[in-house]
């Protein structure tokens, strides 16, 4: 029960501290940016599988982006 409450609290905190995406412009034609995401999953087996332990795992993928615009749009 405690694990479920802790997981729910963690989810609420992650939603509250999420920030909008941003990019860094080097020049008018070149900019860098990216997408960062996170996920966590916890498995509670309980008494149904006594040979296995409850486990959790998380991942934080990052997708980098480079944007180059050779000419201005008119």
On whether residue 61 sits in a domain, the answer given is yes
DSSP state of 48: G
Looking at residue 73, what is its pLDDT? 65
On whether residue 64 sits in a domain, the answer given is yes
- Which has the closest alpha carbon to 11: 43, 35, 41, 45? 41
Rg (CA), the chain: 20
Tens-place pLDDT, residues 9-61: 677 666 656 656 667 788 888 888 888 777 888 777 777 777 777 778 888 88
- Say how many domains are in the chain: 1
On whether residue 2 sits in a domain, the answer given is no
**pTM tops 0.85, yes or no:** no
Q: What residues contact residue 56 under an 8 Å CB cut-off, 6+ apart?
A: 40, 41, 42, 43
Looking at residue 51, what is its pLDDT? 77
On whether residue 12 sits in a domain, the answer given is no
On whether residue 3 sits in a domain, the answer given is no
Higher-confidence residue of 10 and 73: namely 10
- Domain, as residue range, for 26: 21-68
On whether residue 38 sits in a domain, the answer given is yes
């Amino acid at each position: 029960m405690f694990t479920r409450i802790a997981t729910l609290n963690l989810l609420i905190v992650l939603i509250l501290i999420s920030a909008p995406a941003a990019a860094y412009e080097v020049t008018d034609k070149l900019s860098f940016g990216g997408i960062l995401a996170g996920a966590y999953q916890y498995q509670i087996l309980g008494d149904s599988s006594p040979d296995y332990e409850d486990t959790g795992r998380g991942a934080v993928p990052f997708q980098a982006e480079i944007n180059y615009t050779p000419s201005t749009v008119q």
